[in-house]
Chains A and B, each alone.
Chain A
Amino acid sequence: MSEVQQLSTAPFDPRFPNQNQTRHCYSSYVDYHRCIRKKGEDYPACEYFRKAYRSLCPNSWIEKWNDQMEAGTFPGKI
């Protein structure tokens, strides 16, 4: 595993200036899946959204949404 040398995380997003960051997490997750559906898994620009939703969403939410994605029951528009 590669050594972590420097810290970086999802930056401030002017769409979500509030204390409530729920939608910041959700739209990063949806944006990532839209991105890879359009450009494919390996498209480097999608990495930004992946990092953002991994940083912002609780692991239990990600797990739940991934299960829904697999079952085709995810309510968001991908």
Chain B
Amino acid sequence: MSTWSQLSFQDSASPLMEELIMFHDHAMLVLTLVTTLVGYIILTMFSNKFIDRFLLEGHLIEVIWTVIPAFLLIFIALPSLHLLYLLDEYDNPSLTIKSMGHQWYWSYEYSDFLDIEFDSYMIPSKDLEDNQFRLIEVDNRMIVPMNTYVRILVSSTDVIHSWTVPALSVKADAIPGRLNQLTFLVNRPGLFFGQCSEICGANHSFMPIVVESISMNSFLNWINNFE
């Protein structure tokens, strides 16, 4: 989850988020190099005493400052496209969860086996335990087994909402009458937080999403013992 004065991404919990962070760091590195080089050239240009005898003619420098940026762009574009297609790819999922947005809470349906359906409301600040976080904790978490491909179908019953968990690199709008598919694989146990990301009315800020990742055995135990 996000913490105070956090500037970059949340810790990743899925292989794709790992890749996204790697790509971000790669792009930032290129950006830093370019900014430094150009900044250096601008500064030296302002502070030297050359006169513009060759201003209108300079084929060599024209070639250099065309070819180098072209290669830089290729070095960013290739991994970017690679990642774009990776994000679009998915294996056969093992589990489908439907996530429905409502004003103002999420509800989850697990109907692959028994019919499990429950609402997930934010815990109001006055009911918080000492070890819980304000405005982000919910009463019923969405439980998923780790190291398993999970398909989430996002939809809504009233206005547009948006379901997201940044640590798993997923976000999709919840649109009434439409099912949006997301797939992810969580590679460690834990709690992963998200918040509704489409302005949906008065309590838009108070419909958080909590994903709890547990082992497959515990997960089977949970569905078999669901009242």
Contact = CB atoms under 8 A, between A and B. Distances in A.
A25 B145 CA distance: 24
Interface residues of A, number: 24
Interface stretch (A35-43, A51-59, A65-73): A51-59
B109 to A, nearest CB: 6
B179 A21 contact: yes
Interface stretch (B26-34, B76-84, B112-120): B112-120
A interface, by DSSP: helix, strand, loop or mixed? loop
Chain B interface size, under 10 / 10 to 19 / 20 to 34 / 35 or more: 20 to 34
Interface in A15-47: 18-22, 24-25
Contacts of A54: 111-112
A9 B172 contact: no
A51 B95 CA distance: 12
Contact of B96 (A4, A22, A55): A55
A3 to B, nearest CB: 5
A24 B91 CA distance: 17
Contact of B177 (A10, A22, A51): A22
A59 B111 contact: yes
Interface of B: 90-96, 98, 100, 109, 111-115, 117, 145, 148, 151, 153, 155, 157, 172, 177-182, 220, 223-224
